[in-house]
Amino acid sequence: MSNNVLQLEGIYPPIPTPFNAKSRVATKALTENLRIWNRYELRGYVVLGSNGELVLLNDQERLHVLEVARAAIPPNKLMIAGTGCQSTLQTIDLTRQAAKIGADAVLVVSPSYYKGQMTSEVLIEYFHRVADASLIPVIIYNMPACTGIDLDARTVTAIAEHENILAIKDSGGNLAKMAEIHHLAPLSFQLLAGSASFLLPALLMGAVGGVLALANIAPNQCLSIRQHFINGELDQARDLQEKMLPVNTAVTRGWGVPALKAAMEMLGMYGGLPRPPLLPLSEDRKQDLRCILQEAELSPC
């Protein structure tokens, strides 16, 4: 168990896992994409999050992606590994392996297959058992859009009492709940916005940064929103937040991972195809996406 307090302030892209034409992990493309992202003052990366298509990878592929990413991420940037699985034991095993590979922290999503039995008591026990077994800090991942489970403030606060549970990435967008967590949780517990759609409001509610799909294709803009907030330039932060909303919607709740990968291709990076059963973006939607990117004045990274 880690007793170190890891400071998470900053912006993190949850990076996509690139695949080749045969739907195998494209190792060189992953390394090249990270080389491009490393040019920016990003605090680090989430590897094998929802945008990393974690649930579509087998165990060997997951470890391979973590190894390749760690080798390409410089020591001054954090690597947060997505290790949430359906069983507690599987999550613990992947968490331990991620630590051996060199992850600085793990991002653990709620198990959800037996959704009706995922009570507050069950989830508290789940996260605490993972944190007990982990040699590196644990970050709670609240992702109701995918899991169908939205952790309430009281449950998050109870989970946060564990000394090895560092933070929450909340993708639900409930700002009142984020404020309540900020008020009730230990002072050392950190909040991360889970979407650029509410980055500025989350910062106002006490968040220290964000894990943002948008940061894969608009890192400067995401970094600037946070910097404007730090500087007290709220009008500039709000204007930029509003300007990025259509892009963020397209690559998140709108068209998801296929759109994010298509946008990366349009901006000079390797996006490639999503892994089936996900389908690539249609040509009509690609044209719409291209117009959205142009409207937001995004240029190649």
Task: Tell me the DSSP string of 53-112.
Answer: TGGGS-HHHHHHHHHHHHHHS-TTSEEEEE---SSHHHHHHHHHHHHHHT-SEEEEEPP-
Q: Which residues of 74-83 are buried (b: 16+ CB within 10 A; e: fewer)?
A: eeebbbbbbb
Residue 194 amino acid letter? G
275 three-state secondary structure? coil
- Among the listed residues 28, 77, 169, 177, the single catalytic one is 169
Residue at token pair 């990968």: 261
Going from the C-alpha of 264 to that of each of 55, 73, 213, 215, the distances in angstroms are 21, 19, 11, 11
189 three-state secondary structure? coil
Active site residue 169: yes
- Distance (Å, rounded) from C-alpha 125 to C-alpha 138? 14
Six token digits for residue 72: 């390409």
- Nearest 5°: phi and psi at 22? -95, 10
Q: Which residues are catalytic?
A: 169
